[in-house]
A and B are shown apart, each in its own frame.
Chain A
Amino acid sequence: MRRAVLALALIAAASAARAADDGVHVGVATCAGDNCHGRADVPSEAQLGTAQYPIKQNEYLVWAHKDKHARAYAVLKEPRGERIAHNLGLANAETAAECLSCHTDSVPPARRGPRYRLADGVGCEACHGGAVTWLGTHIAGLSHQDNLAAGLYPTERPEARAERCLSCHIGGGERAITHRIMGAGHPPMPFELDTFTAIQPAHFTVTARYAARKGRPNDVQIWAVGQAVDLQKRMALLTDPANAPKGATPELVLFDCQACHHAMNQLQWQARGSGGPGPGTLRLYDATAVMLEAVAARVAPDLAKDLAGHLAALHRAAAAAVPDYWAGVQRAGAALGEDAGRLAAALASHDFTAEDAKALARAVISSGDLGYSAAQQETMALESIVAAMKAFGWADASQVKALNDALGGLYEATADDQTYRPENFAAALRQVEAKLPH
């Protein structure tokens, strides 16, 4: 546990340092050679993971053809991007720092190598780190550990991956995502680490060789750690002075979108097991915190109590009609952020078992929160749990198929926030529950 805390702290520090300076970014083209990561003829399943074919080597092609990150810059020039820029009073989106900070691999000009191109969008080095320091060891065939030591970013570690993805998918600091940007037309940004890893789509395949080099990924763990880091980052945003209320309005991006953005004839409010404010008020976004409560109750009961207490305290503080309410929000938010940090470390070192997976699936289903944001998180949580059941053989093939069919119902029920109906989602949850292995 202590080691995990230390590792997490080191990663956070390294991540922060790297964001400041992780060397020269040599550009996507450097990685895309057909004998490197741009290989067109993919090895067969039997070949994959052998000494000759340790990986598919088509990672560049997967990214270029299927991964939205490759289009991150291009979308800035599309009508929607233009419209948002116009609404923000910007000349355009593709030269605006506040857009580029996440829509490309935004390193300063001094750290752009000759083959670096802004227009490549969120390319290899945006996630794996500037390659100038480690490309040599990497192509020389050294171990993964050697690559990491030379500066390759450890995306295979759940907490490090969460840190990296959420630096844009929640944002903050130079990558601040404000409600101003949302109001200008930016789409909402639901995120769950394991599901988003899968649908990116992942450009890695877990083989025995992969497991030996990087450890065997457990989707339940990736989901759980992702939720903890998510909450930690949200609380950092809540306590950031840049997000303090101005005039009448708090920074609205910290709140649950659907608490407001619903038709007036579709009442949203309902009593929630996790506490939270009464009808007619905004609700701080807490869907990931609610998921984390379920995880903590199973895996770290001691921390679960603190988490539930501090979450309730945060909701109370946000609605407290006292002059120094903001100080109260900051205190409760800081405490909740610390809980999340401790949980991230605990979850990163926990060995999630078949029993954990089943219990967590049931806990997610019975969390009792049917708000749209919660429904999105519950859907992605169950997707992750089912993925682990499949990968580890905790459910047989027919059970996995039945579960995946049932998951389809969850996605269907949450397809559109404007037509979302809690009762349909609840029915879809019951379908999943019925298919869970005993």
Chain B
Amino acid sequence: MAAIAARGTAGAWRAGIAACCGALLLALAPRLAAAQANPAPGIHLGVASCAGSNCHGAAEPVADSNVMQNEYVVWSKRDKHRDAYRVLLEPRAIKMAQALGLPDAANQKLCLDCHADNVPPAQRGRGFQLSDGVGCEACHGGASGWLGIHVSGATHAQNIAAGLYPTDQPAARAEKCLSCHFGDRTRFVDHRLMGAGHPRLPFELDTFTATQPAHFRVTDRYIARKGRVTDLQVWAAGEALTVVRRMDAVLDPRRSHEGLLPEFVLYDCASCHHPFGTVARPTATGLGPGTIKFDDANVVMLQLAAARVAPDSAKALGAHLAALHRGTVADWGTVEREAAAIRKIAQSLVPVLAKYSFTGADMRALAAASIAVGTGPDNYQVSRGDQVAMTLAAIVTNMRSAGLVDDAKADALTEALLRLYRGFAGEAAYRPEPFVKALRDLQAALGK
């Protein structure tokens, strides 16, 4: 969550967050790569091909240019994707590998598929280095097909047509990031990896774009070339596609169960990882005490987005989610049926949400609804806390860029967000109470 906290504008609170949540930053940083979902047709030429000082390796942002041109430097110095391979050599990874019965981590497809740009050897160019981690082409696609026109001043549309991956489009970006940050049929961080020591994978597309940190700036030139995309479009498309990917996992027998046991990464961590006691854990799912609760945080956030755009879909999502919860303690057939229905709705919402213009009224309603989720039943779920906090960060950022809040109010909101993230400072011992208090403060800062 601290990584999320690094979103924002005021340097002071960025520093504050780094100080107060340093350990979390390490634990939760988006170390996993955002490599492509499908093998690129092209050869991956390697990071070095992009890093020239007159290309993307400028020491400082270049004025009067289409892009900052220091993208490589931002990635290399500040982006955790840069360290994705290197961490496989660290003690934590070596211990994990041991627990998994592997000789090491740095030579395993299981790990490399997300911790490097692990394309087959035939697709690795001369400058390609596995140790570069999740480099340029892991997200932007193998450059052999488009580097020529790219350096010769082609338009963005021409680059895309030649094979550059459209990371500027919310749905496409979601697809690419989620291929590792949630996973798919071929790459999946299951609970076996978690039990061996892998950190959990909270993710929200807009926040993670910001905290990566982004190596682009939305300028007039950017908008002219790639169009204007708002934070909430990115957020909403991200939530919708995360739901699709989550339901894919539910519907994949190899990812939904292991023998007697359900695949625990599909359930909320705090369902089990809590001390004993009689603390009330109120739930609106209808499930009784002692049950493992399906991680529904993304579905719940998608419901909020859909409520603004397609109210019938929002209602249907709610009904299917309730039925899915009941199925988890009754029969798996129901779970699969409901998951398929949820998947279908979410899939249909991706393009709608990616294009929808969220208004000021939408933003205020979304903020109120997110706060209601965070202060309501089931808020002991760590995943609900994650999603509520990151959603509110996306809303506040969007309000700010849309000029809906003045500087004083923006600062107050930033302060309140900071306190919200502190609720996660001890993620392992997440408790809803301080989180609820911070949400109330944020609510007060938002005003009417």
Contact = CB atoms under 8 A, between A and B. Distances in A.
A280 B135 CA distance: 30
Given A87-B280, A88-B289, A279-B100, A264 B329 contact: no
Interface in A278-295: 278-282
A36 interface: no
Question: Which 10 residue pairs are nearest across A and B when measured between Cβ atoms?
Answer: A183-B290, A280-B195, A185-B278, A279-B195, A183-B289, A260-B272, A179-B290, A184-B289, A265-B428, A280-B191
Contacts of A246: 329-331
B133 to A, nearest CB: 24
A325 B258 CA distance: 10
16 contacts: A83-B278, A87-B289, A180-B288, A183-B290, A247-B334, A248-B327, A248-B328, A248-B335, A262-B273, A269-B99, A269-B195, A269-B196, A279-B193, A318-B261, A319-B259, A325-B260
Contacts of B196: 267, 269, 278-280
B259 A320 contact: yes
B330 A322 contact: no
Given A179-B290, A263-B429, A250 B261 contact: yes
A84 B274 CA distance: 17
B275 interface: yes
Given A261-B275, A264-B200, A281 B192 contact: yes
A278 B274 CA distance: 21
B27 interface: yes
B329 A278 contact: no
Nearest to B101: A278
A418 interface: yes
A266 interface: yes
B154 to A, nearest CB: 47
A281 B292 CA distance: 14
Given A88-B289, A248-B294, A261-B272, 6 more contacts: A88-B288, A183-B290, A246-B331, A247-B332, A261-B274, A278-B101
Interface string A22-59: 00000000000000000000000000000000000000
B281 to A, nearest CB: 8
A321 B259 contact: yes
Q: Is chain A's interface secondary structure helix, strand, loop, or mixed overall?
A: loop
Given A80-B278, A320-B259, A321-B257, A249 B428 contact: no
Contacts of A325: 259-260
Nearest to A180: B290
A84 B99 CA distance: 38
Given A88-B289, A180-B289, A278-B100, A264 B276 contact: no
A301 interface: no
Nearest to B98: A271
B290 A322 contact: no
A121 B278 CA distance: 22
Contacts of B328: 247-249
A206 interface: no
B90 interface: no
A326 B331 CA distance: 14
A245 interface: yes
Contact of B99 (A262, A278, A319): A278
A263 B428 contact: yes
A182 B194 contact: no
B262 interface: yes
A335 interface: no
Contacts of A279: 99-100, 192-197
Contacts of A320: 259
A178 interface: yes
Contact of B264 (A180, A280, A317): A280
A297 interface: no
A84 B278 contact: yes
Interface of B: 27, 99-101, 190-197, 200, 254, 256-262, 264, 269, 272-280, 288-292, 294, 327-332, 334-335, 427-429
Which of A178, A245, A269, A279 is the most central at the interface, judged by chain B CB atoms within 10 Å of its CB? A279
In which size bucket is the chain A interface? Answer: 35 or more
Contacts of A313: none
Interface of A: 80, 83-84, 87-89, 178-185, 187-188, 245-250, 252, 257, 260-267, 269-271, 278-282, 317-322, 325-326, 329, 417-418
Nearest to A317: B259
A328 B366 CA distance: 49
B263 to A, nearest CB: 9
A405 to B, nearest CB: 29
Contact of A318 (B99, B101, B259): B259
A118 to B, nearest CB: 24
B1 to A, nearest CB: 13
A270 B197 CA distance: 11
A278 B260 contact: no
Contacts of A278: 99-101, 192, 195-196
B329 A249 contact: yes
Contacts of B429: 263
A180 B288 CA distance: 7
Nearest to B266: A248
B386 to A, nearest CB: 13
A187 B191 contact: no
A275 to B, nearest CB: 13
A247 B327 contact: yes
Which of A246, A282, A320 is the most central at the interface, judged by chain B CB atoms within 10 Å of its CB? A282
Contacts of A329: 260
A260 B200 CA distance: 15
Nearest to B256: A248
Contacts of B200: 264
B27 A265 contact: yes
Given A265-B27, A319-B261, A325-B260, A260 B191 contact: no
A281 to B, nearest CB: 6
Contacts of B264: 280-281
A418 to B, nearest CB: 5
A247 B274 CA distance: 23
Contacts of A281: 191-192, 195, 258, 261, 264
A179 B428 CA distance: 23
A184 B290 contact: yes
A267 B195 contact: yes
Contacts of A88: 288-289
Nearest to B267: A248
Contacts of B193: 279-280
Nearest to B289: A183
Contact of B292 (A187, A249, A263): A249
B192 A280 contact: yes
Contacts of A185: 277-279, 289
A354 B196 CA distance: 42
Contacts of B277: 185
A257 B27 CA distance: 25
